[in-house]
Structure 1
């Protein structure tokens, strides 16, 4: 058995790049973890190496039209099952995990690139991916419009019956004004869902936009103080 130093370098490089992707996701407590990203990247690299080398090793004068990337081409479609597994749909119809799914696909792409011998291109790609996920969003939010510095919050309010809901909605938006002197954005209602409960009370499900600097607990106590409000359930989307 001949030890191929080039193969060892490629597999170790794929392991390192997968580790970088995994660390980024792990620090943010995302579904894609450190071990998963490293396995995806190394396995994609290995399959690519096997696909390329087997095409040359088993080629013959009669069968010389073997595609060296035939196995690597299946990685892109096969890894989609893993990506679908980290995409979650919550009870409030919020979709999460799309970035992690994209990073799974990117990790497989890095493995393919390393396995095919494009080490510098893979290094540049992993640097750009980390910048795109961590640096550029912060920079764009800091220089962009105030809307980019807002976050969505789901609020469920149970209130006493026979109270004008319009006044409650106005009170929610009025309570959000002037919370931060340096923040021009106030609480804004984006979506409303009304529901009558069996005990006669009324439930209002709201999706509101609030400044990122505002704590979720602030929103809770501000709405809780509104008259006729019985219970408040606040969730950061």
Structure 2
């Protein structure tokens, strides 16, 4: 057992792959819990961020190892004294600003773009590894990131559909109908733990809206919940966010 642990602490293909997979699983477990509570950053976002962070640490270790072994003669020849990992740090900081530009709050009070921002950041980390020639890490990292973006949306959708927490956006004719809608929500055996009312502007043709944060006391289909509330004549638009 001690020999196996020592082997995994070394810098080799098995160790690199295990670290990346462990980052994916650990980030996914935390993100799954956040996804069940209908938070903006959920399953895939946590996986991508955790993968990118692990990839960056592995890249720093790789650069240090190469400078100490294969690149040592070249480093002495050109008089390299700086920490080359700083270049990668600047790239990661810069891509953070780019990713922040993809995060938006829609008119329905819905946050979008978090997974895109996390994907950009993880891809930037992978690009640094490619530029450094860290092929042993790039291949499993690419497979795991692609898996997260292409396949895991199905898992993410199942998590959210079976969640007892819901965020419901409702656009109504008048604020006078707020009591009616609240009564219908409570009649569906749901607990309201947050309520955000936005007054419309008649001059701009905007109608008042409400964002309900509710918890289902018993597991039900989200589509069925929305359909039951949508039966009210005073509701113009209803959707889950």
Are 2:211 and 1:206 aligned?
Answer: yes
Return the match for 2:130 from 114, 123, 134. 114
2: CA distance, partners of 1:198 / 1:142: 39
Match among 144, 169, 172 for residue 128 of structure 1:
144
Q: 1:212 to 1:55 in 2, by over 3 A?
A: farther
The equivalent position to 1:97 in structure 2, one of 90, 113, 129, is: 113
- Greater than 4 Å deviation, 4+ residue runs: 54-61, 133-145, 186-190, 194-199, 208-213, 221-224
Larger radius of gyration: 1
How far apart are 1:155 and its partner, in Å? 0.8
Residue 169 in structure 1 maps to residue 185 in structure 2: no
Shift of 1:205: 1.2
SS in 1 for 2:163: helix
> Under a length normalisation based on structure 1, what TM-score does the superposition of the two structures give?
0.50
Contact 1:157/1:232 (<8 A) preserved: yes
Q: What's the counterpart of residue 170 of structure 2?
A: 155
TM-score by length of 2: 0.50
Partner Cα distance (1:205, 1:126) in 2: 41
Conservation of the 8 A alpha-carbon contact between 2:104 and 2:111:
yes
- Look up the match of 2:41: none
Ranges in structure 1 where 5+ consecutive residues have no aligned partner? 1-48, 178-185
CA separation in 2, counterparts of 1:173 and 1:198?
29
Q: Distance in 1 between matches of 2:120 and 2:200?
A: 43
Deviations 1:55-79 (CA, angstroms, capped at 9, x unpaired) = 9868647x34243444333211121
**Cα drift, residue 116 of structure 1:** 1.6
Count of matched residue pairs: 165
- How much has 1:214 moved relative to structure 2? 1.5
2:29 alignment counterpart: none
Q: Is the 8 A contact 1:195 1:204 kept in 2?
A: yes
Which residue of 2 is the match for residue 233 of structure 1?
Answer: 237
CA distance in 2, matches of 1:236, 1:213: 8
CA distance in 2, matches of 1:72, 1:55: 20
- Larger helix fraction of residues: 2
